[in-house]
Chains A and B, each alone.
Chain A
Amino acid sequence: MATETPVKPPAEAPAKTRASGAPREGAVLNFFSQGFLWLWSLMVIVPVVWIVMSSFKTTREIASAPLALPESFHWQNFANAWTNGHIGAFFLNTLQVMVFSVTGTMLLGAMAAYVLARYQFFGNRIIYFGFAAGMMFPVFLALFPLFKTLGNVGLLNTYTGLIIVYIAYSLPFTVFFLTAFFRTLPTGVAEAAIVDGAGHYRLFFQVMLPMAKPGLIAITIFNIIGQWNQFLLPLVLMGRNPDDAVISQGLANLAMRQGYEGDSGALFAGTVLAMIPIFIAYVLFQRQIQEGLTAGAIK
């Protein structure tokens, strides 16, 4: 397995530096910076490799030799995680929730942000700061009142209830971010569209939304990650029927069970299974995330 020995930068890197403007200072700096960059990569890769490696080990191997290579590929862990940990079923549950919650968050978030960014009206600032303040709201505080509120309208232990709560709690970040994004969009195109006789709705759906695509994609990704990892809200609001649990609950259950009966193999296998889809999404959309984030700064 990989160890903590510093990896030497590839040979062409120093050569490149020497060919450039500030030779000596550059070479020394480059060596240390490169070393540090690779060290940090190692600090990420080693632990992740360790998780993947542990997912193939028996529980006894994990406990007695946490750093050793697996003696053989113990695929049983994955089977256990899939069946006992219900990772497969929880995955589908999560998907079912998130299709609606992420779409809803993005639609409502974009609508609110667009209006707040491009229209002057009484109360604009108050609503904007109202949303922004929500980012600082400790979710703990809301658990009991939320339980009550949803219970009163019969949405407790339903996906509908969870979806609207996800949307409401994702709105602050989404609105805050997208408002900044809509403000940066050039006004010229919008004006041209108005001259062409476009109404407010057409302007939003046919002109502004397509223009805001990079920002929308970036925030979508962050909402996916955020909602995928959401733990406390589903635990309390969906606590009635364990079959309806979402993936983060499934993982936390595996993690907690590990403390009681020590099936750490299944825990690591479940982790690997849960990690895969999110990782694929990140690699696929990596460029869009970067582009979209450009507008993140407060203006």
Chain B
Amino acid sequence: MKHGRYPFILSFLALPVGLYAWLVILPFAQAFQISLTDWSGSSNSFDYIGFDNYVNLFKDERFVLPALRHTGIILVVLPVATIALGLFFAFMLNLGGRSRQGRIEGVAGSRFHKVVYFFPQVLSVAIVGILWKQVYAPENFGGLITGTLSAIGLPSPVNGFLADKRFVLAAVIGVLVWSAVGFYLVFFSSAMASIPRDIYEAAIIDGAGRFQMFFKITLPLLWDSVQTAWIYLSIVALDVFVLVYLMTPEQGGPDTASEVVGGVIWKYAFKHGEQAFASAIGVVLFFAALSLAVVSLRFGRREQIEY
């Protein structure tokens, strides 16, 4: 079996690695090169200006700094909310019901919920944006939430959620959670499916409630999956842009209240004609994401539990 090992490895890796290096790594390296220039994006000439773009981007109070703050908030809230909801739903839909003939299963309607919850994943993001713009609209323009709040006698923002500085970022995060939860429900469900049922049945015999079952058994055994989910969601959080573009006033407003890093890159690249500056922001974003992933992997590691 030893013979032909390296030719085999080489033959399997050459094409994927080659393609990846050519079309992903190399363009990225070039983007880094661009970030050291003053290139506008619509010309074939430019000058090298060193790291000026990097120095300037941390002084940009108008767009970059608010965007960094907002992306930071999304980076914390999106994974926490999505994972918490995903775990709760997965637990309820797989293990939440009580045993019949000694078998643990999900609550009634589980199969239905599982199909429905995943549905936002199949909607194109353009549609999700149009959809939620209507849901968040002001009351006398058919807003679903504002209308419901008023109907039950609660106050609601008069201009809808998206035109209100206090709510717009939360509103965007809400849509992100809404569309992501289905994926993580399925993701955690499959992880839960691999936990042997007799562990739970033993716990029930010992008189454990569902809270205890969840925190003492499910969560620890799911730790790897939670960590993976965290990384995926962080990537999503750093990439948030299309929704902000489609839903919010002035694509990041009102008055920069929903500006995010992805959107600022787009604004500088295509609306302000400062491609080089945009590239610098992108490079910073990439390294921030990378360090985040490395750090969370290092500190999140736990003992592997075999079962």
Asked whether the complex places CB atoms of A and B closer than 8 A, the reply is yes
Q: B-contacting residues of A (Cβ < 8 Å)?
A: 4, 9-10, 12-13, 16-17, 19-22, 25-26, 29-30, 33-34, 37-38, 40-41, 43-48, 50-51, 65-67, 108-109, 111-112, 114-115, 119, 121, 127, 130-138, 140-142, 144-146, 148-149, 164-165, 167-169, 171-172, 175, 194, 199-201, 204, 225, 228-229, 231, 248, 251-252, 255, 267, 271, 274-275, 278-279, 282-283, 286, 289-294, 296-299
Nearest residue (CB) in B for A281 is: B122
CB-CB contacts of B170-203 with A at 8 A, as 1s and 0s?
A: 0000000010011000110111011000000000
Q: Which of A21, A200, A283 contacts B5 (CB under 8 A)? A: A200
Q: Is there a chain A Cβ closer than 8 Å to B113's Cβ? A: yes
Chosen A-B contacts, 17 in total, with CB atoms closer than 8 Å, are: A9-B109, A13-B108, A17-B98, A26-B209, A37-B93, A46-B144, A138-B285, A144-B30, A144-B34, A145-B31, A146-B27, A165-B23, A169-B23, A248-B124, A248-B126, A271-B124, A283-B115
Give every chain A residue within 8 A of B126 (Cβ-Cβ).
231, 248, 251-252, 255
Given known A37-B107, A47-B131, A136-B290, contact A112–B16 (CB-CB < 8 A) = yes
- In whole angstroms, how far apart are the Cα atoms of A199 and B12 in the complex? 14
- In whole angstroms, how far apart are the Cα atoms of A157 and B249 in the complex? 33
Q: How large is the interface on B (under 10, 10 to 19, 20 to 34, 35 or more residues)?
A: 35 or more
- In whole angstroms, how far apart are the Cα atoms of A126 and B225 in the complex? 23
Q: Is the CB of B122 within 8 A of A138?
A: no
Q: Which of A25, A141, A274 contacts B124 (CB under 8 A)? A: A274
Give every chain A residue within 8 A of B31 (Cβ-Cβ).
141-142, 144-145
Q: Is there a chain A Cβ closer than 8 Å to B273's Cβ? A: no
Q: Which of A37, A149, A225 contacts B92 (CB under 8 A)? A: A37
Q: Is the CB of B24 within 8 A of A286?
A: no
Most buried by B among A26, A140, A146: A140
Q: Is there a chain A Cβ closer than 8 Å to B297's Cβ? A: yes
- In whole angstroms, how far apart are the Cα atoms of A12 and B97 in the complex? 11
8 Å CB interface, B143-185 against A: 144, 148, 178, 181-182
Given known A20-B98, A279-B119, contact A43–B178 (CB-CB < 8 A) = yes
Question: How many Å from the CB of A243 to the closest CB on chain B?
Answer: 20
- In whole angstroms, how far apart are the Cα atoms of A145 and B239 in the complex? 20
* Count of A-B residue pairs with CB < 8 Å: 261
Q: Is the CB of B132 within 8 A of A137?
A: no
Q: Is the CB of B178 within 8 A of A290?
A: no
Question: How many Å from the CB of A61 to the closest CB on chain B?
Answer: 12
8 Å CB interface, B255-307 against A: 262, 265-266, 269, 275, 278-279, 282-283, 285-286, 289-290, 293, 297, 304
Q: Is the CB of B19 within 8 A of A136?
A: no
Q: Is the CB of A66 within 8 A of B134?
A: yes
Q: Is the CB of B20 within 8 A of A134?
A: yes
8 Å CB interface, B82-126 against A: 88-89, 92-93, 96-100, 107-109, 112-126
Give every chain A residue within 8 A of B182 (Cβ-Cβ).
44
Give every chain A residue within 8 A of B235 (Cβ-Cβ).
135-136
Give every chain A residue within 8 A of B112 (Cβ-Cβ).
41
Nearest residue (CB) in A for B8 is: A200
Q: Is the CB of B1 within 8 A of A12?
A: no
Give every chain B residue within 8 A of A225 (Cβ-Cβ).
121-122
Give every chain B residue within 8 A of A279 (Cβ-Cβ).
119, 122
Give every chain A residue within 8 A of B58 (Cβ-Cβ).
none
Q: Is the CB of B285 within 8 A of A286?
A: no
Give every chain B residue within 8 A of A109 (Cβ-Cβ).
16
Give every chain B residue within 8 A of A175 (Cβ-Cβ).
16
Nearest residue (CB) in B for A109 is: B16
Question: How many Å from the CB of B204 to the closest CB on chain A?
Answer: 6
- In whole angstroms, how far apart are the Cα atoms of A144 and B43 in the complex? 12
Q: Is there a chain A Cβ closer than 8 Å to B70's Cβ? A: no
Q: Is the CB of B108 within 8 A of A9?
A: yes
8 Å CB interface, B216-232 against A: 224-225, 227-228, 231
- In whole angstroms, how far apart are the Cα atoms of A127 and B16 in the complex? 11
Give every chain A residue within 8 A of B282 (Cβ-Cβ).
138, 140-141
Q: Is there a chain A Cβ closer than 8 Å to B127's Cβ? A: yes
Q: Is the CB of B122 within 8 A of A298?
A: no
Give every chain B residue within 8 A of A10 (Cβ-Cβ).
108-109
Q: Which of A20, A29, A45, A293 contacts B186 (CB under 8 A)? A: A293
Give every chain B residue within 8 A of A274 (Cβ-Cβ).
124
Question: How many Å from the CB of B243 to the closest CB on chain A?
Answer: 13
- In whole angstroms, how far apart are the Cα atoms of A43 and B145 in the complex? 11
Question: How many Å from the CB of A115 to the closest CB on chain B?
Answer: 5
Q: Is the CB of B23 within 8 A of A168?
A: yes
Q: Which of A19, A65, A121, A298 contacts B9 (CB under 8 A)? A: A121
Give every chain A residue within 8 A of B131 (Cβ-Cβ).
47, 50-51
8 Å CB interface, B27-81 against A: 27-28, 30-31, 34, 41
Question: How many Å from the CB of B288 to the closest CB on chain A?
Answer: 9
Given known A21-B204, A140-B265, A279-B122, contact A51–B20 (CB-CB < 8 A) = no
Further 18 A-B residue pairs, CB within 8 A, beyond A138-B238, A274-B124: A13-B108, A21-B98, A37-B109, A46-B144, A51-B131, A65-B142, A111-B16, A136-B289, A138-B285, A140-B262, A141-B27, A142-B31, A145-B30, A145-B31, A228-B124, A282-B119, A282-B121, A293-B186
Question: How many Å from the CB of A286 to the closest CB on chain B?
Answer: 7
